[in-house]
Amino acid sequence: MKKLFITVAVALTGFTGVVVAQQDPQFTQFMYNKLIYNPGYAGTSGAVCGVAQFRQQWVGFAGAPQSIALAADMPLKGLPLGVGLNIMNDKIGPISTTFMRAAGSYNVKIGKGKLGLGLDLGILQKSLNDTWITPEDPSLKQDVALSADGLTKTTYDIGFGAFYQIPGEFYIGLSSTHLPAQGIKKGDMTFKLTRHYYAMAGYTFKLTPWVKFTPNVLYKSDISSTSIDVNGTFMFFDKFWAGGTYRHEDAAAILMGVQLPFGPGNTYVGKVGYSYDITLSQMGRHSSGTHEIMLGVCYTPKIVKPTTHGTDRFLD
């Protein structure tokens, strides 16, 4: 299996003329960072939120994927708009991809929730490390360097999404990233950026006054390959959660976390989450699983209701 990974990594660094693969990072705790998938999410929660995620896939396997995501969004006071920003970095072997995107969303109140129609604009940078030494076979270093000759190329990136949510109850979203589907070229090598399509949804069931259950689903596709994540989490006393995830023919995971209010009037809520993936594919024989950590905080402004003042001089 390691020799297979070496072959794939070397091919990606330049032995093939065109490289086409999923470029977007993968996260098990996707439901806590929806902005990175859908710009329509920006502002729909009514809160000012920030999320950070770190994922180390296939622990113990040299050159295994490592992903970092940072995202923040907020509604604009007095306007039907939400804004957001997300930054991601994804590494696998000698290849590093960095995303920086600013999102804007038009928010429309529908029923008890909000519909966000959003667009994100930014850059995508692809880097290839020509000094990376492939696992178990340092002799390949020269071949990789000669064929790749290093690579750092940047291009523009555009995404679109529609997202509807009733905070704390229900959400559904459809989106697409890398809409231009352009290629990043250097010499005779091209990285083809394919469009990615996402559909996500979740619903919270109140089982008792102290227990809630939320199933979530995320569908991902770049047409050539498709992946589906299905999970469920139990929330206890609005503070602690635990659950599990299944990713078709890839992994099963356990999830746990805690959220606590703090600050004046408990207007802030902090979250810490952890997931551990058990790899179900053949790669599981050569690694000790995948770890992922999520940190988040949200500030929800208190709504100040207008008041009236009476006076016995109102006829003056």
pTM of the model: 0.84
Confidence of residue 14 (pLDDT cuts 50, 70, 90): very low
Give me the residue spans of the domains in the chain: 2-10+28-299
Contact 47, 300 (CB under 8 A): yes
Structure tokens at 91: 């590494």
Q: What is the DSSP letter of 11?
A: I
**pLDDT tens profile 15-49:** 344 444 457 899 999 999 999 999 999 999 999 99
| Longest CA–CA separation in the chain, Å | 95
Compute the chain's Rg from CA coordinates.
22
Instruction: Look at strands 189-192 and 18-20 and give their pairing.
Output: parallel
**pLDDT of 148 above 80:** no
Least confident of 35-44, 185-194, 253-262: 185-194
| pLDDT given at position 122 | 96
Fold adopted by 2-10+28-299: Porin (2.40.160)
Q: Which pLDDT score is estimated for 312?
A: 47
pLDDT in tens, 45-103: 999 999 999 999 888 777 788 999 999 999 999 999 999 999 999 998 888 999 999 99
